[in-house]
Every structure is written in C-alpha cells, then in structure tokens.
C-alpha cells in the first residue's frame, strides 16, 4: 500500500504549469498539506494525455483537422492511457480517489496474429502451441542426443525433459505432432463428440518462417503482464476525480503559459486566458509541460535549462476508436477483450474489456507508433478511417466495414499543447536528465518524462510526489 502524505503544513502559494496527471497530483498532494495551489492548463479540459473521448468531444489538430466524436451514449475511447499494471501507484490513486476499477484484458489466447506473408490470421493459442511444441522438441532431442552433457547432470536432464514434455505437449519420442492446445475447428461437445481439430500443425520450418514468435513475449513484460486494470467508465475518471479534489476553481482551463520569470523570492508566470494576458506570482512553480514545449517558453532560468528540456525526444503515436453497431467480435468470433497483433501499419486492434454482450461496442482500430503514426496522422481523419478499415477487413472480413457506426482518431504528435505521445530522455546525455531533477531556482519540473516509467501515468504520479516532497522539505527548512 502506497498511501502518501506530506508531514507538516504550509500555506505557501504554488503555481503549477500543466493540468495533466503530474500537475494535478502535485496540486492535490500540496493541497492536502495546506498549500495554496493554482494550476494553469492550456487545453479546455484537465487531464492532459489522460484523455477519454466521448460523444460530442471536439478536437482540432495542428494541421487544422477538426473532429467531433459521434459516439453513442456510454461509448468511449481511452485515446491515451488505457491499462494499468497491478503494481503501479496509479491503482493506489484509484483507491484513494474512489475511482472504481475493472479488469483490462491485455493478453488473450483467443485473439489473433495477422501477418501479411501468411495472408490469414492465426489465433494466439495456436501459434503458442506450435512454437512451444517445436522448441520443446528441439531442446528435448538435443538433450536426448547428449548435446548438453557438458552442462547438465543426468538428474538435470531428466528434470529438463519432464518440463519440456509438459511445456511443449510433446510425445514420448519427443516429437511435436500438434496438441489440443492449438484449439479446434469445432470444440468438443456432448457424448462422444471429440470436436474437429484445426488443420495442421504446419512444419517446424514453416512455424519458424512465419515469425509468430515475435508476438509471444509481450505479455512477459513486467509492465504489460495480465492482470491489468482500467477505471470503470473511462481513464479520465482519474483526472476528473483529482480535479474535483483539487477544486475546480484552482484549475484554470484555457490558460496558456507564455513566460516564466524566476526571482530571488518568488516566480511570476505570464499566461493568456480568454484572449487576455495575465500574470500570477507565487512562492514556487512546478512546471509539468511536455519538455519540448517547455523549451519553447521564454524564461530566465538559463540556457542550459532550455537545452536540457529540448534534448527530450518527442515520440509519435496514434489511436483510432471505431464504434460498431454490433459486437461481432464476441458474437461471431468469440473474442472477449485483448488485442490482435499485426505487421500491418495499424499495428494492433483492441477489443473492449467491458460491457460484454452489450448491443454496440468500440474497437481500437489502430494503435501504432513512430512512422506508422506519422503516416496516418498526416491524413485528414476520414482518410485515416478508410485506411484503417481497409486493413481491418483483411483480418475480420467485410463486417469490419459494414457494421461501422462512427470513428474518431487521435494523432498525439499533432495535438495542440502536447505534440507528442511521450518524450524519451536523452540517454546519451544523462546530465540533462539530472539537471531537471533539480529545481532551477524556485521552479521545479515534473512529468512521466522525469521518471523510469515513461509512457505510464505511474511515472507522472511518482515524479509529482518526488517534487512536492523536495519542495515541502525546502519550505519547512526555511
Ligand atoms: P501531460 O498529460 O502531457 O500534461 C502536461 C499538460 O501541460 C497537458 O495537460 C498540456 O495541455 C499542458 N500544457 C502544455 N503546454 C501548456 C502551456 N503553454 N500552458 C499551460 N498548459 C500547457 N499511461 C498508463 O498509465 N497506461 C497506459 O496504458 C498508457 N498508454 C498511453 C497511450 C498513449 C497513446 C499515450 C499518449 C500515453 C499513454 N500513457 C499511458 C502515458 C500517460 O498518458 C502519461 O504518462 C501521463 O498522462 C503523463 O502525465 P503528465 O502530467 O506528465 O503529462
Ligand atoms: N504505456 C503505453 C501502453 O501501454 C505505452 C507502452 C507501450 C509502454 C508498450 C510500454 C510498452 O500502451
């Protein structure tokens, strides 16, 4: 349990730049200790990248494309964060803020792998059975033939073989000849109905040639392993709960920071809100803007600060939500949550982890990065949808087009005030990273980019905690 609170109180004034998870958390934790916080947020909603798109939401991108979400009531797209691992502090905030959570299906043996060279999708369970089967066969035979005698005792060999026989479902001769683990064309049923097996397995050589193995290790990651979780009703429930606790009057929306001036005893921030330039002066400032955008804001904190901020590399990602009139993936294809992985430019297709068997539902029709995200992001939104649908039809057939109700796409690197999905630290320049972990006078920096969990809210929460702790200690000392 990771409950957090600052010990001792203060009524100092703090101005916080950016109302994403890091900025809101800083305001929330400092507020609990008595501080007088004001958050300046350029967008018309708090949360930053913690963004859930619902019907009626309008987004205009940097290329002038305007989209209005047409999703029906209750349908939403978590356009940014979508999943939370069990160990992440994000779940502690859900508990503390009273945000209910539900399972997020991050890996599912019944989803598909689609590779262009194969031309037809294969279920994860089939790919796993074949790959684990053949790898077990090879290792068992090498062991039988004495190839590992220099590294294994007789006892080791016996234990390894018994593991491989089970792990790969290989026979007594240590040949892999298929397994019920592959799944069935029709599943076993009543009486003597043993079901009908899928055709196959393909040869060992064909299984390796298909390269399905590259999709199998994703769920081994400490950050991506089942079980994962999501807030009930949308990821933005976290940002909304934080905003409510901070106090809506303390979070100024549509307030774009223009300039930061640090002084010996305070910090003055110039911002524009409602077309009017204003200033606010506080004892301290916490800057949580994306670093490459903060680098462009005039300040008197030193050119080394600007250079360090500008060294954080902005990374592109895109997501599209496709609302369907029916849940054909559940009803016809027996896929309940999880994701299909592809080598197409859509990257992956996600199936919803909630509202199973509801009349309608929303798929993530692409979630991709770097070049693919930039290629789709450069298109007008209707063309992004058309391209995503053409790709999805290859996997799921014509209903992928005919059942579509509406679409909404997010190109994060083309989104005003964010201009990236996330920023990677310059690992060839650790001094830049370390410089920004320290305050520049009375200005502190926070965000997932200043953590070891980039692209996770966990990193933003913990970075905010680290900064408010340091700031509070300084205040108590002075
Ligand atoms: P931000 O949310 O970027 O906050 C910065 C704020 O500054 C923004 O609100 C911005 O509008 C504001 N701002 C910018 N310029 C100005 C200005 N001049 N004046 C005033 N305000 C300004 N995390 C997970 O936990 N799970 C996931 O599954 C996950 N998936 C992700 C998928 C995608 C596609 C993306 C984009 C992110 C994902 N993340 C995920 C990461 C998560 O969204 C971030 O780690 C977290 O939201 C970052 O919070 P932050 O406060 O550091 O930054
Ligand atoms: N946290 C993001 C997500 O889960 C980005 C990410 C993708 C991080 C893959 C690590 C691995 O989608």
Concatenate the DSSP letters of all residues of 177-217 into one string.
---GGG-EEE---STT---EEPS-PPPHHHHHHHTGGGGSS
Query: Per-residue pLDDT averaged across 419-432, rounded?
Result: 95
Cβ atoms 458, 340 nearer than 8 A = no
pLDDT of 9: 97
pLDDT of 427: 86
Say if ligand 1 is within 6 A of residue 290 CB.
yes
Half-sphere exposure of 428 (CA within 13 A, CB side): 2
What count of residues does the chain have? 478
C-alpha to C-alpha distance for 402 and 186, rounded to whole angstroms = 27
Q: Residue 430 Cα, ligand 1 centroid: separation in angstroms?
A: 22
Cβ atoms 54, 69 nearer than 8 A = yes
Residue 2 above 80 pLDDT? no
Per residue in 327-372, pLDDT (tens digit) is 999 999 999 999 999 999 999 999 999 999 999 999 999 999 999 9
Taking phi first (over 0 means left), then psi (-120 to 50 degrees means alpha), and beta for anything else, what does residue 254 get? left
pLDDT band, residue 3 (cuts 50/70/90):
confident
Residue 5 above 90 pLDDT? yes
> Looking at residue 466, what DSSP letter applies?
H
C-alpha to C-alpha distance for 407 and 376, rounded to whole angstroms = 14
C-alpha to C-alpha distance for 380 and 263, rounded to whole angstroms = 45
| Residue-wise DSSP of 70-98 | -PPTT-EEE-S---EETTSHHHHHHHHHT
Say if ligand 1 is within 6 A of residue 169 CB.
no
ipTM score: 0.99
Question: Which ligand sits nearest to residue 287's alpha carbon?
Answer: 1
Query: Per-residue pLDDT averaged across 67-92, rounded?
Result: 98
Residue 146 above 60 pLDDT? yes
C-alpha to C-alpha distance for 337 and 350, rounded to whole angstroms = 7
- Which residues form ligand 2's pocket by a CB distance below 6 Å? 83, 223-224, 455-456
Which of 77, 364, 455, 464 has most ligand 1 atoms within 8 Å of its beta carbon, as the pocket-test mutant? 455
Atom of ligand 2 nearest to the CA of 422: 5
The pTM (predicted TM-score) of the whole model is: 0.98
Tell me if 83 is assigned to a ligand binding site. yes
Average pLDDT, the chain: 98
Per residue in 432-472, pLDDT (tens digit) is 999 999 999 999 999 999 999 999 999 999 999 999 999 99
Beta carbons within 10 angstroms of residue 249's beta carbon: 7
C-alpha to C-alpha distance for 353 and 337, rounded to whole angstroms = 5
Tell me if 257 is assigned to a ligand binding site. yes
- Please name the helix (run of DSSP H) or strand (run of DSSP E) that holds residue 370, with its range, or none: helix 370-377
Residue 1 above 70 pLDDT? no
Residue 425 above 60 pLDDT? yes
C-alpha to C-alpha distance for 23 and 461, rounded to whole angstroms = 9
Atom of ligand 1 nearest to the CA of 289: 7
pLDDT band, residue 308 (cuts 50/70/90):
very high
Cβ atoms 411, 368 nearer than 8 A = no
Which of 60, 457, 468 has most ligand 1 atoms within 8 Å of its beta carbon, as the pocket-test mutant? 457
Q: Residue 271 Cα, ligand 1 centroid: separation in angstroms?
A: 20
Cα Rg, the chain, nearest whole Å: 26
pLDDT of 166: 98
Query: Per-residue pLDDT averaged across 104-120, rounded?
Result: 97
C-alpha to C-alpha distance for 36 and 44, rounded to whole angstroms = 22
> How, if at all, do strands 338-342 and 317-324 pair?
unpaired
Query: Per-residue pLDDT averaged across 160-181, rounded?
Result: 98
> How, if at all, do strands 84-85 and 228-231 pair?
antiparallel
Question: Which ligand sits nearest to residue 52's alpha carbon?
Answer: 1
Q: List beta partners, residue 197.
A: 184
- Of the candidates 80, 387, 46, 447, which has an alpha carbon nearest to the alpha carbon of residue 250? 46
Beta carbons within 10 angstroms of residue 60's beta carbon: 12
C-alpha to C-alpha distance for 188 and 281, rounded to whole angstroms = 72
């Amino acid at each position: 349990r990771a409950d957090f609170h600052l010990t001792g109180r203060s009524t100092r004034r703090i101005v916080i730049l950016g109302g994403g998870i890091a900025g809101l958390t800083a305001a929330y934790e400092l507020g609990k200790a008595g501080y007088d916080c004001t958050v300046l947020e350029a967008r018309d909603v708090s949360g930053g990248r913690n963004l859930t798109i619902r019907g009626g939401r309008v987004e205009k991108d940097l290329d002038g494309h305007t989209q209005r979400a047409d999703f029906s009531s209750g349908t939403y797209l978590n356009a940014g964060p979508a999943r939370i691992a069990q160990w992440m502090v994000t779940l502690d905030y859900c508990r503390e803020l009273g945000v209910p959570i539900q399972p997020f299906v991050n890996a599912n043996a019944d989803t598909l792998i689609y590779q262009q060279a194969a031309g037809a999708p294969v279920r994860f369970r089939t790919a796993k059975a074949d790959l684990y089967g053949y790898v077990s066969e090879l290792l068992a035979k090498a062991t039988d033939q004495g190839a590992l005698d220099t590294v294994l005792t007789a006892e080791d060999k016996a234990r390894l073989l018994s593991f491989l026989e089970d792990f790969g479902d290989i026979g007594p001769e240590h040949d892999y000849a298929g397994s019920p683990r592959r799944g069935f064309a029709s599943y076993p049923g009543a009486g003597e109905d043993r079901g009908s097996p899928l055709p196959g397995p393909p040869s060992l050589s064909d299984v390796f040639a298909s390269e399905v193995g590259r999709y199998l290790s994703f769920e081994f990651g400490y950050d991506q392993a089942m079980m994962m979780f999501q807030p009930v009703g949308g990821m933005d429930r976290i940002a909304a709960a934080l905003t409510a606790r901070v106090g809506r009057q303390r979070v100024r929306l549509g307030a774009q920071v223009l300039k930061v001036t640090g002084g010996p005893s305070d910090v003055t921030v110039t911002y524009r809100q409602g077309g009017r330039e204003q200033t606010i002066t506080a004892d301290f400032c916490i800057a949580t803007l994306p670093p490459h955008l903060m680098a462009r804001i005039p300040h008197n904190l030193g050119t080394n600060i600007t250079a360090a901020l500008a060294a954080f590399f902005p990374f592109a990602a895109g997501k599209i939500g496709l609302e369907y009139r029916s849940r054909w993936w559940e009803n016809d294809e027996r896929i309940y949550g999880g994701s299909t992985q592809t080598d197409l430019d859509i990257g992956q297709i996600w199936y919803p982890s909630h509202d199973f068997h509801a009349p309608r539902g929303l798929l993530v029709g692409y979630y991709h990065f770097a070049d693919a995200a930039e290629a789709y992001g450069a298109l007008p939104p209707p063309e992004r949808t058309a391209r995503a649908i053409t790709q999805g039809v290859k996997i799921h057939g014509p209903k992928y087009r005919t059942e579509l109700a509406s679409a909404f796409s997010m190109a994060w690197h083309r989104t005003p005030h964010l201009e990236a999905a996330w920023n990677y630290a310059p690992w060839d320049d650790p001094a830049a990273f370390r410089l920004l972990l320290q305050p520049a006078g009375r200005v502190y920096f926070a965000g997932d980019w200043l953590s070891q969990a980039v692209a996770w809210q966990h990193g933003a929460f913990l970075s905010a905690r680290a900064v408010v702790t340091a700031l509070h200690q300084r205040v108590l000392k002075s």
